[in-house]
């Protein structure tokens, strides 16, 4: 992680039609599958299924997405193949997700959602490698910050679109209509590819899982630091649950839930704005510094949640800090991997990053949930804040090592 020396960003044209197309694809796709995600509990409830079915479906889907990201890395190492995978991944996710509104059993819903999440997972390394292909190295931070900002903006629009559609056409039709922005996302990626520099498929490229060469040198140290952070980075639903519990006294359950969801929208809006700022800062000062700042901000957010202050203003600050951390960390991680990965293994590097992110999230969410149930939410969030302190120590040590 020796790229921490301050650098002035070279004035380059980075927001090209190709970069813009990838950003628009992230926005449209996230808006599309957030409609389905927002309405999934309601759909299952109408089928007579409860929280257990929802938990199994989401757990299996997330697991398949993680495995698909690992498999998608080697597939995306070939520049020619990664473009087809990106378009196909977006289209397949859209179609399978929308079909959940047409089936009649939780098993069918689970199968379709699992397939959609696998397609979503396999396209991630291809999309990130494609974005690195069309971006000058001096602007990696800004390009990945823009993509993350558009993705987080889609996470805001999706639930709002779900509320509008369900009021007008009902749950099943609303999920079905979500195919439209999803397919438009595939069109946007195809547009980006059309405006990208031509890259010939690599002749004689063999499909193989490569891990060892990625664990050495600058990239290896980066992945160690990222792993330290991700092991204390749980799902945002735990933040919503904590806020709902803290807002409960003096409010109805419905009011507390709506307020917590409004805070989550603030979280995503902050992440979207900060992603753009983080990208520019990463190009100027190096992504490792931005990553360390993001971990520090995350620790501050968890500390506030651990304190258990019930005021909406304080909780709003905690959610804004959490969103800022997402914008800083996700942008810095992607830009750093793009800069450090060998060009011929760029897809595998992004696949490995995605596995670290999803695996760390699974561990962090599970441990936090166990500590919450066994002791208290204060203990759970104190654990997370402590993890962030440990991650900062690891990242600082990694940054001091030579390339």
**Which three-class secondary structure state does DSSP give residue 13?**
coil
User: Are 276 and 136 within 8 A, CB to CB?
Assistant: no
Domain annotation covers residue 310: yes
* Cβ pair 51, 332 in contact under 8 A: no
- Tell me what pLDDT residue 10 has: 56
303 in the same domain as 176:
no
Whether residue 351 sits in one domain with residue 231 = yes
Task: With CA atoms as reference, report the closest residue to 128 among 242, 255, 25.
Answer: 25
Q: Which of 379, 263, 281 is nearest to 335 (CA)?
A: 281
Biggest alpha carbon–alpha carbon distance for the chain: 67
Tell me which of 167, 199, 231 is where a domain ends: 199
Per-residue tokens: 205: 């490229």
Residue 147 lies in a domain: yes
Q: Does 117 share its domain with 240? A: no
Residue 163 shares a structural domain with residue 232? no
Range of the domain at 338: 210-403
| Statement to judge: residues 306 and 185 lie in one domain | no
CA 332 from centre of chain: 13
Asked which of 144, 165, 199 is the last residue of a domain, the reply is 199
Q: Is residue 80 part of a domain?
A: yes
Evaluate whether residue 83 is within a structural domain: yes
Same domain for 225 and 322?
Answer: yes
Judgement on whether residues 193 and 214 belong to the same structural domain of the protein: no
As for how many domains the chain has, the answer is 2
Domain check: are 140 and 166 in the same one?
A: yes
Q: Is residue 292 part of a domain?
A: yes
Same domain as 150, residue 94: yes
Question: Which residue positions in the chain have pLDDT lower than 70?
Answer: 1-10, 50-51, 55, 199-215, 401-403
Whole-angstrom CA distances from 256 to 20, 241, 285 are 38, 10, 41
Helix H or strand E segment including 18: helix 17-46
231 & 194 share domain: no
In terms of domains, do 195 and 214 share one?
no
Residue 31 sits in the same domain as residue 166: yes
Asked if residue 3 belongs to a domain, the reply is: no
Q: Is residue 379 part of a domain?
A: yes
Per-residue pLDDT, 200: 59
Which of 128, 114, 136 has its CA nearest to residue 58? 114
Per-residue pLDDT, 403: 53
Place of tokens 């959610």: 319
**Which pLDDT belongs to residue 5?**
40
Tokens (6 digits) for 117 = 């999440």
- The reply to whether 237 falls in a domain is yes
Among 169, 199, 229, residue at a domain's last position: 199
Per-residue pLDDT at 48: 85
Judge whether 46 and 171 are in contact, CB under 8 Å.
yes
DSSP 347: H
What are 343's two structure tokens? 């060009």
For position 23, which CATH number holds? 1.20.1250.20
Residue 167 has a pLDDT of: 85
* Residue 106, C-beta contacts closer than 8 angstroms, at least 6 positions apart: 44, 47, 49, 53, 57
> How far, in whole angstroms, is CA 82 from its chain's centroid?
19
Q: How far is the C-alpha of 324 from the C-alpha of 270, rounded, in Å?
A: 6
Q: What is the DSSP letter of 209?
A: -
């Amino acid at each position: 992680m020796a790229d921490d020396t301050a650098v002035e960003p070279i004035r380059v044209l980075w927001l090209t039609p190709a970069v813009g197309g990838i950003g628009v694809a992230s926005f449209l796709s996230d808006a599309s599958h957030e409609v389905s995600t927002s309405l999934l509990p309601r759909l299952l409830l109408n089928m007579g299924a409860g929280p257990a079915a929802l938990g199994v479906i989401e757990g299996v889907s997330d697991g398949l997405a993680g495995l698909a990201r690992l498999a998608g890395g080697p597939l995306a190492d070939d520049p020619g193949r990664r473009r087809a995978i990106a378009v196909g991944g977006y289209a397949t996710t859209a179609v399978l997700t929308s079909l959940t509104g047409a089936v009649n059993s939780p098993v069918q819903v689970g199968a379709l959602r699992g397939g959609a999440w696998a397609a979503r997972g396999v396209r991630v390394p291809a999309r990130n490698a494609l974005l690195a292909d069309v971006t000058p190295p001096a602007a990696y931070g800004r390009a990945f910050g823009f993509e993350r900002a558009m993705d987080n903006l889609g996470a805001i629009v999706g639930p709002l679109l779900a509320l509008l559609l369900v009021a007008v056409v009902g749950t099943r039709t609303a999920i079905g209509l979500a195919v439209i922005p999803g397919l438009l996302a595939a069109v946007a990626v195809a547009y980006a590819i059309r405006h990208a520099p031509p890259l010939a498929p690599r002749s004689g490229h063999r499909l193989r899982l490569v891990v060892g060469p990625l664990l050495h040198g600058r990239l290896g140290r980066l992945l160690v630091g990222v792993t330290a952070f991700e092991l204390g980075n749980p799902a945002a639903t735990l933040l919503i649950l904590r806020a709902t519990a803290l807002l409960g006294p003096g409010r109805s359950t419905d009011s507390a839930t709506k307020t917590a969801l409004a805070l989550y929208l603030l979280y995503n809006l902050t992440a979207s704005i900060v992603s753009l700022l983080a990208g520019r800062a990463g190009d100027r000062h190096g992504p490792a510094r931005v990553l360390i700042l993001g971990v520090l901000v995350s620790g501050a957010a968890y500390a506030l949640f651990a304190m258990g202050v019930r005021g909406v203003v304080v909780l709003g600050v905690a959610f804004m800090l959490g969103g800022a951390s997402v914008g800083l960390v996700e942008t810095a991680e992607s830009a750093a991997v793009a800069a450090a990965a060998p060009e011929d293994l760029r897809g595998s590097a992004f696949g490995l990053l995605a596995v670290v992110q999803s695996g760390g999230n699974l561990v962090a969410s599970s441990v936090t949930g166990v500590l919450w149930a066994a002791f208290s939410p204060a203990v759970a969030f104190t654990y997370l804040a402590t993890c962030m302190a440990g991650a900062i120590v690891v990242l600082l040590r990694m940054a001091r090592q030579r390339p």
